[in-house]
């Protein structure tokens, strides 16, 4: 094994512990990498404030150029990442499969814990997947869901009770109802189950918890006029 003595710390070390320097006879620096790093660190600490001032002034003077450069680099990185993903798609899928099989129980436990702590998000993701399988629009956000609950004062839109709320499709998903703010209201599990895939205008007037006031609130929230919805674009 070829070795060399560091000119700074005096310790004999493997030649690979010295940086390259083509001007030297042996092709390596006189000080080891560790000593070189310590010198850089000491220099940085001694000149930290001056460097920060220079950096701030440079960024201020070259603000527009930096912005253009960052935008260009962002696009280049995105394109490089896309190409990498395409060329390594099968390899990554295989690695992902092996990982999932190896840590199946841990992943399942973590998922259960996450769902318990993020019930609304979990429901939202599940509903999104269902809507996508049905090939219908799926754009409801957590903010829009919170807005729906706030509109109905955190009570069931059908019976008015303060119970755990579910995302209810006003027009059933099975007949093309969208998973959007135009079609989702909050309902308790009992009312959600009772309505199922029924038409609201046929089911609700006969429902045991029917309320003219709540019916009006539902139709106003979904912007129904004369039996037709005036679609909102948000």
Percentage of the chain surpassing pLDDT 70?
97
Domains of the chain, residue spans: 141-229
Q: Checking DSSP bridges between strand 28-32 and strand 18-20, what pairing results, if any? A: antiparallel
Q: Which of 2-16, 84-98, 125-139 has the lowest mean pLDDT?
A: 125-139
- Convert the pLDDT of each residue in 167-195 to its tens digit: 999 999 888 889 999 999 999 999 999 99
**How many residues are there in the chain?**
234
Is the separation of the CB atoms in 15 and 3 below 8 Å? yes
Residue 21 confidence (pLDDT): 92
**Host H or E run for residue 116:** helix 104-117
Indicate the pTM of the whole model.
Answer: 0.51
* Distance from C-alpha of 195 to C-alpha of 173, rounded to nearest angstrom: 12
**Per the structure block, which two tokens stand in for 231?**
């679609």
C-alpha–C-alpha distance, residues 221 and 217, integer Å: 6
- CA trace torsion 167, 171, 173, 179 (10° rounding): -50
Class of residue 130 by CB neighbours under 10 A (exposed 0-12, middle 13-18, buried 19+): middle
pLDDT at 232 over 60: no
Least confidently predicted of 158-167, 199-208, 224-233: 224-233
Say what the pLDDT of residue 230 is: 65
SS3 label, residue 186: strand
Residue 233's pLDDT band (boundaries 50, 70, 90)?
very low
The structure tokens listed for 207 are: 């429902």
pLDDT digits (tens, 9 = 90+) for 158-167: 999 998 999 9
Q: Residue 104: exposed, middle, or buried by beta-carbon count in 10 A (0-12, 13-18, 19+)?
A: exposed
Instruction: Just give the CATH number of 141-229.
Output: 1.10.30
Number of H helices, E strands in the chain: 10, 8
Confidence of residue 147 (pLDDT cuts 50, 70, 90): very high
Instruction: Note the pLDDT of residue 28.
Output: 93
């Amino acid at each position: 094994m070829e070795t060399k003595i560091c000119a700074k710390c005096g310790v004999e070390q493997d030649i690979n512990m010295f940086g390259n320097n083509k001007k030297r006879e042996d092709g390596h620096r006189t000080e080891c990498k560790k000593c070189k790093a310590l010198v850089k660190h000491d220099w940085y600490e001694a000149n930290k404030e001056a460097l920060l001032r220079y950096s701030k002034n440079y960024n201020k003077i070259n603000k527009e150029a930096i912005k253009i450069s960052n935008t260009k680099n962002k696009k280049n990185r995105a394109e490089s990442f896309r190409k990498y993903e395409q060329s390594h798609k099968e390899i990554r899928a295989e690695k992902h499969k092996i990982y999932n099989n190896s840590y199946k129980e841990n992943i399942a436990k973590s998922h259960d814990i996450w769902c318990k702590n993020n019930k609304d998000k979990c429901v939202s993701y599940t509903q999104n997947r269902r809507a996508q399988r049905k090939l219908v629009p799926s754009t409801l956000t957590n903010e829009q869901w919170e807005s729906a609950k706030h509109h109905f004062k955190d009570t069931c839109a059908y019976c008015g009770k303060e119970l755990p709320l579910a995302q209810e499709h006003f027009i059933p998903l099975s007949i093309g109802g969208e998973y959007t703010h135009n079609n989702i209201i909050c309902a308790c599990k009992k009312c959600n189950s009772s309505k199922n895939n029924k038409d609201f205008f046929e089911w609700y007037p006969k429902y045991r918890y029917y309320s003219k006031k709540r019916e009006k609130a539902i139709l106003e929230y979904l912007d129904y006029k004369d039996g037709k919805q005036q679609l909102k674009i948000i």
